[in-house]
Amino acid sequence: MAGARRHRGGRACVTLLRRLDHVAVVVRSTDEALRFYEGELGLRVYSSEVIDSPNVRLTYLDIGNAFLQLVEPLDPESALATWLNEQGEGLHHICFGVDDVPATAAALSAGSAPPVLGTGRGRVSAFVSGGASHGVRIECTEFVREQDVELAAGWLAPPA
């Protein structure tokens, strides 16, 4: 894999994580969560979308040089809704922007099930399978230099 180097034990280690893209929080109600994240923290909604598979509402809040993603399951019978009912609201995953989503997710999932490609904000994404990330679920998404670096302010402007 391009961009990999050898790590102790001979395993390849990814070196082309380009940026932290977002931190995802699973919530029961996006509207309720926005009362805190918009109302109390002053974060602004960057975009919001409903995707069919899995059936969720994804709302991205601008936190300067990355996003906070609110994930609301819309199907009460889905695996994510079950996870929410068992675990409660809170951290669901962290996501890194990468150049090659399928290759990076597959390399990080070595020895586990192959990653399944999905989407969010119109970008290809995939979750890393396996348990090597110390209890934190990892997702990879497309790194788009123009949007992620050149057009990103990198900080939050003070309130007007």
> Which pTM does this prediction carry?
0.85
Average pLDDT over residues 66-81: 96
The C-alpha atoms of residue 120 and residue 69 are separated, in whole angstroms, by: 10
pLDDT at 1: 41
Average pLDDT over residues 46-72: 95
pLDDT at 9: 55
Question: What integer best gives the mean pLDDT of the chain?
Answer: 87
- Between 102 and 132, name the one with better pLDDT: 102
pLDDT at 96: 95
35 contacts 82 by C-beta, under 8 angstroms: no
Q: Which domains does the chain have, with CATH numbers?
A: 4-150 (3.10.180.10)
Q: Which amino acid is at 152?
A: A
In the predicted structure, residue 58 carries a pLDDT above the cut 90: yes
- Between 133 and 144, name the one with better pLDDT: 144
- Between 71 and 151, name the one with better pLDDT: 71
Given CA atoms 73, 79, 81, 87 in this order, what sign does their dihedral have?
negative
pLDDT digits (tens, 9 = 90+) for 140-156: 999 988 888 887 777 77
The C-alpha atoms of residue 108 and residue 24 are separated, in whole angstroms, by: 19
Given CA atoms 158, 23, 47, 16 in this order, what sign does their dihedral have?
positive
